[in-house]
Every structure is written in C-alpha cells, then in structure tokens.
Amino acid sequence: MTQVMPKTQTEQLMDAVLAKLQHDVGHELMVELFPENPLQYRLNHPRGAVLLAYGKSTFGVSESTDATFQARNVVLRLTLIFRQLNGTAGVISYLDRIRASLTGWYPPNADQACRPLSEQFIGHQNGVWQYTQDFATRATQLQFMPPEHGPLLKHAAFEDHP
C-alpha cells in the first residue's frame, strides 16, 4: 500500500498561481508549469504560453526563541512565449494583463499579496518572443514539530507559596 504524501507549501503555492492564471487567461493561452526539459519545449498554441516556475526563497530571522518561525519571501517566475509582440494578442499586452491579474491577489497560506518584482525581455528566436515576469509573496516557514511521546499531562495542580 502506497501512502500519498500531502503537497508541500511550494507545490500548493504553485498550484494556486497556476489555477489563477488558467482562470484569468487560460481560455486564450496555454498556461502550464515550466517544462522539465526546456530545450525540447515546443509552443503548440497559436497565440502563446505562460510557463510557471519556482524562482527562489529568502528567509527572515527566526521570530521565536524556542522554535524556528520565519518569514519566507517567495519569488515565482513566469516565462511568456508568444508569436506576436504588439497588439491585443501580443506578449506586451499579456504582460500587462497578467501583472494586473496577480498584483494584490493573496495565494492560499500567504500573508502578503502577490506583487511584481521585475519584467525582462529574454529574446526573439524563430518568430517567437520571450519575456519573464517575477512575482513575490510571503508565507511563513515553521519548524516541523513531531508529536512528543510519553504520558500526557492530564491535570495541573498549582500551589501558592508565600
């Protein structure tokens, strides 16, 4: 019997961002996770694609003295691959639309809304335009605390000492 492992914090965050983008622009574009082998990726959609990847995390100092409790600043990277540069079907228009879609949106388990960090032109090759957009949000990183073994405290009796 195989035990199904719950999705990690990062996987849940990426699933939520992917669902948000699929809801907002998925009927017009391909929206998917960044491919395992980017060199073999082929743009099959007639307009373009948005590819989601985990970028990085940075961590704040621990907020507690008895356990690790940190702010986790997460950066997610979108790669936009389009056949057209300008116009309503072009990558420039979708950079604006995706930025508007994610800016101010709270992913599940995040304590800060998404905010744009940067956008950059990657290049143009074989009639395809490529740009990146980086978005940040903040979550909390907690220390895993397994249940302690031994007898549970059933009753506490306190005495006053003068």
> 3-33: per-residue pLDDT in tens?
888 888 889 999 999 999 999 999 999 999 9
pLDDT band (50, 70, 90) for residue 152: low
What integer pLDDT is reported at residue 7 of this predicted model? 86
The mean of the pLDDT values for the chain is 87
Query: Percentage of residues in the chain with pLDDT exceeding 90?
Result: 60
Average pLDDT over residues 96-109: 95
pLDDT band (50, 70, 90) for residue 39: confident
What integer pLDDT is reported at residue 122 of this predicted model? 96
What integer pLDDT is reported at residue 143 of this predicted model? 58
Checking if the pLDDT of 134 tops 90, the result is yes
Pairing of strands 69-82, 48-59: antiparallel
Average pLDDT over residues 97-108: 96
pLDDT band (50, 70, 90) for residue 93: very high
pTM value? 0.80
What integer pLDDT is reported at residue 84 of this predicted model? 95
